[in-house]
Chains A and B, each alone.
Chain A
Amino acid sequence: MKEGRIVPLFTHDNPTDAQQVLEAAYSGGIRVFEFTNRRENSFDVFRHLLDVSKKHSDLMLGIGTVLDGPTTKKFIDVGADFVISPIMKLEMAKVCRDHDISWIPGCATLTEIVTAKDNGAEIIKLFPGSVLGPGFVSSVMPVVPGLQLMITGGVEPNEKSITSWFKAGAACLGMGSQLFTKEILEQKDWTLLKQRIQEALKLAREAKK
């Protein structure tokens, strides 16, 4: 995650389109991908993605928008590489620990962050990023050194946004609707998508220097 600096997050109820997006992201340089559990059939689509991504030995595919323990278990059982949540729910920490899978909870206050850290979270998602802002990250980093924060929600794929988050101390950035725009998905323009991902990754690499 730290190497890639950008984790795309995406959901789709069509397995073929989801697969195309995953492939475009991979060929654009993505090695850590978050599929989000936001549709009725997300479990089936996720299993399909796990199947087709086996050919890429260096691609890590995790599940996001998981809100409870049983759902965590269900996705780990089929092979999710990591579990991401928009909330900090301790029953999820236990399931992940029992299966030795990375638990990435969503936090919005320093109390939630430290509680997550004390319960074994090595990477913590900051959500919603746009509401908290880079100033939140730069304020908490000196207070609890060693935090690895992944920013999600409103991170924009432009130099200004990317640079401001990394400068504040973010470990990596989650990017969803800003990267996978409605137009790209509607037109199924996978070439453009690959290009946008390459550009975002380039900005992230440069911002970190």
Chain B
Amino acid sequence: MANFSNDAIQQAMKTSGMIPVFYHADIEVAKAVVDASYRGGVRVFEFTNRGENAFSVFTELLKHVQKYSDLMLGIGTIMDATTTQKFISAGAHFIVSPILKQEMAAVCKKENKLWIPGCATLTEIVTAKDLGAKVIKIFPGSVLGPGFVSSIMPVVPGLQLMPTGGVEPTEANLSAWFKAGVICVGMGSQLFAKEVIETKNWAKLEQSVADALAVITKIRKK
């Protein structure tokens, strides 16, 4: 199984600028979405632990992505230490959470895995940083907004933030986030339209992913 250093994962997050966030109970759909995302240019993917059989789908997915030497597959929506341990043991490349839970930091530290906790206030962010978080998820992104990021960046320099939740694949929205200083964005439902998944229109999905990444590249060149 491919193994990536935490530095390599952070670098890949910064380089691509976008991480898809996705869950599906059907392994075939999950595989097709990961494949289409990869073809569209994604190199870091977050599968979320949001359903009964998320664990079995995730372990299958890990096997499936072994054919890509440069795809990093992490697990998101993790809420406690036990689940963190379970997914790391199965081979998750990194751990994402919508909350700041100290016990998860300890497990990730012991296993030397990247822990990306979800924070919503600067107090939570600095607590996460002090506990070893190198990348911090800002959640819910749409509630806090790019203004939150631009307000806190001068206060605590060097933060590596990834907003998730309500980030839109439009030039206006992405440009506001990157201008505020985020290193990458997480994108879920705004990227994977229900209708595209239902009709299994993988070519369209690949195009949406490629379009979003192209917008980010364009913004960063400015």
Residues of A within 8 A of B (CB): 38, 65, 67, 86-89, 106-109, 112, 127-128, 130-131, 153-154
Contacts and interface: CB of A to CB of B under 8 A. Distances in A.
Contact of B123 (A38, A88, A153, A154): A88
A88 B121 CA distance: 10
B154 interface: yes
Contact of A108 (B122, B145, B154, B156): B122
24 contacts: A67-B126, A86-B122, A86-B152, A86-B155, A86-B156, A87-B122, A89-B123, A89-B126, A106-B123, A107-B121, A107-B123, A108-B121, A109-B120, A109-B121, A127-B122, A128-B147, A128-B148, A130-B147, A130-B151, A131-B145, A131-B147, A131-B148, A153-B151, A154-B151
A123 to B, nearest CB: 16
A67 B159 CA distance: 14
A38 B158 CA distance: 13
A75 B185 CA distance: 38
A88 B155 CA distance: 14
A65 B152 CA distance: 11
B123 A67 contact: no
A68 to B, nearest CB: 8
A142 to B, nearest CB: 22
Contacts of A128: 122, 147-148, 151-152
B144 interface: yes
A112 B100 CA distance: 14
Q: Is the interface of A mostly helix, strand, loop or mixed?
A: loop
Nearest to A11: B154
A67 B154 CA distance: 13
Contacts, number: 46
Contacts of A107: 121, 123
A89 B121 CA distance: 12
B151 A87 contact: no
Interface in B53-68: none
Contact of B151 (A88, A109, A127): A127
Nearest to A87: B123
Contacts of B126: 67, 87, 89
Nearest to B148: A131
Q: When A and B form their complex, which 5 residue pairs have the shortest distance between CB atoms, in order from nearest?
A: A128-B151, A108-B121, A87-B123, A88-B123, A131-B148
Interface string B123-160: 10011000000000000000011011001101110000
Contacts of A89: 123, 126
Contacts of B122: 86-87, 106, 108, 127-128
Nearest to A128: B151
Contacts of B145: 131
A38 B155 CA distance: 7
B147 A112 contact: no
Contacts of A87: 121-123, 126-127
Contacts of B121: 87, 107-109, 112
Nearest to A115: B123
